[in-house]
Amino acid sequence: MDSLRTTSLSGELNRMLVGSYVDPALGNISAGAYSQFRPTDVTTILDTDAEFDSAVLQLRYDFYSYGAPGETVQKFSVHEITEELNFEDDYFFNSNIDVDINSIGTAEKSIDANTFKTELEDTDADAVVTTRIKLDNSYGQRLFNAINPNDTLYTNFLYFKEQFKGIAILPTQADKVVGLGNLDTNTYLRVYYHSGSTSKSITFVMASCVTFSKVDTDRSGTELAGLNTFSSDFTSPTSRYIQSGTSIITKLDLTKFYDYMDTIPELIINSAEINISGVDPSVDFQPIQLVSINMLGSDNHYNALDSRQDTLDFVSFNGALAVSDLSKMFVADDQGSNKVFSMPYSSTTNSYSGYPTVFFQKLYDLRQKRYPYWSIVSNSPPMGKAVDRSVFPKENIKLRVYYTRGTLNENP
């Protein structure tokens, strides 16, 4: 799919991705983080004898890691964005943004995937791991020179972002993709200066800014090498795939379900189970933890509430669909309450399974208008905020329907 938004919005997981790794099943994966920044306080007046010292970018890891196991060194470079980012625009995993090829800072960090996994699962969230990157003095001096509470080019962000369009954090040597907390208080760009013998600083943050991740992939040498167009069916020879960072989904065609159910005039579905077995249990590339199912149109685009007919379709399912992710229509949990149905991964059986019984009953009840096309997508981690993937044999997706035949009463 080509519509995977990675822009961080309020109310959802805010995460920037950076790094790279090689996946034998899905190829070379590389992620870069792009963000604007803004001053936290535009009222500070610099002393007349203030002199610039340095500019430092600090990034806090949110402990997401995907790729090589163990502890290895990751290297990054920082570049100035040369194309203005706009609040009105969405940015996607494949958005191309111009950056200066010359870096304004470099850093390296030793990252232990096992420690990151432990901390990510720790609900206390008290550990802090950061990387500090000293930025080029000429860039820092430009920022320092711009600090002026009486100048709207500094105080008005609409003007500020024209002068300082943002930064891109790109991998130079890596075997993992890691997550950065762009809204964390330990993530900032800070300009240090002194007045006389007193050291001072001005802080810039990424809050209320355009922030997104770009994920590139090279699938040559894999059975997905021919997957190079968007929103088109691609039949890989042996396996089916889902990848949350490069927008790969597995399509479900329920035509045969309809064909079979058309032979039964009346029925009640007692239980409907979807099971996906034989999921690749790779330790290095752990499967997606939760997957969900959402509706596709005949053009292979996600069906959203974009028209009156879409709304009528949604209402006709009477609670068997849930609206989420910018009004995309997902299969709903049988418990209702607009909760999205999801299938958890079992590391014991290397499989996904779930029981969307109410949903399949609705498909049967509404069979005069068919809804055959659906997709299996990553639910946790959310699409666009990670690069987790799942791989399973193409013949291992099963739908089991248990039903009771009804008896037509021909007499009034």
pLDDT tens, 280-337? Answer: 999 889 999 999 999 999 899 999 888 898 999 999 999 999 987 767 899 999 886 6
99 and 213 together in one domain: yes
DSSP state of 121: H
At CA 194, angle to CA 192 and CA 199, rounded to 5? 75
Note whether 292 and 311 are same-domain residues.
yes
Supply the pLDDT for residue 74. 97
Number of Cβ within 10 Å of residue 122's Cβ equals 11
User: What mean pLDDT do residues 196-216 have?
Assistant: 96
For the chain, the domain total comes to 2
Indicate whether 321 and 174 sit together in one domain. Answer: no
Question: Do residues 223 and 239 touch, judged by C-beta distance below 8 A?
Answer: yes
Average pLDDT score over residue span 104-108: 96
pLDDT exceeds cutoff 60 at 412 = no
Residues 181 and 226 in one domain: no
Q: Are 119 and 210 in contact (CB under 8 A)?
A: no
Say what the pLDDT of residue 306 is: 87
Residue 312, pLDDT score = 92
Interval 176-181 mean pLDDT: 96
Q: Is residue 63 part of a domain?
A: yes
Burial letters 223-249, b for 16+ CB under 10 A, else e: ebeebeeeeeeeebeebbbbbbbbbbb
- The arithmetic mean of pLDDT across residues 100-123, rounded, is 93
In a domain, 273, yes or no: yes
How large is the average pLDDT for residues 86-104? 94
Residue 111, Cβ neighbours under 10 Å: how many? 24
Statement to judge: residues 149 and 255 lie in one domain: no
What is the average per-residue pLDDT within 3-27? 91
Q: Judge whether 8 lies within some domain.
A: no
Cα angle, residue 34 at apex, residues 109 and 329 outer, rounded to 5°? 115
Q: Mean pLDDT in the chain?
A: 93
Q: What is the per-residue pLDDT for 335?
A: 80
Whether residue 193 contacts residue 54, with contact meaning beta carbons closer than 8 Å, is answered with no
Q: Are residues 231 and 205 in the same domain?
A: no
Tell me the H-state helices in 149-303. Answer: 152-155, 157-163, 255-261
Whether the predicted pLDDT of 276 surpasses 70 = yes
Q: Which two tokens stand for residue 188?
A: 């900032």
Residue range 360-384: average pLDDT? 94
Q: Quick one: residue 27, left, alpha or beta (phi over 0 = left, psi -120 to 50 = alpha)?
A: left
Q: What is the residue range of 123's domain? A: 16-217
> For the chain, what is the largest distance between any 2 Cα atoms, rounded to a whole number of angstroms?
100
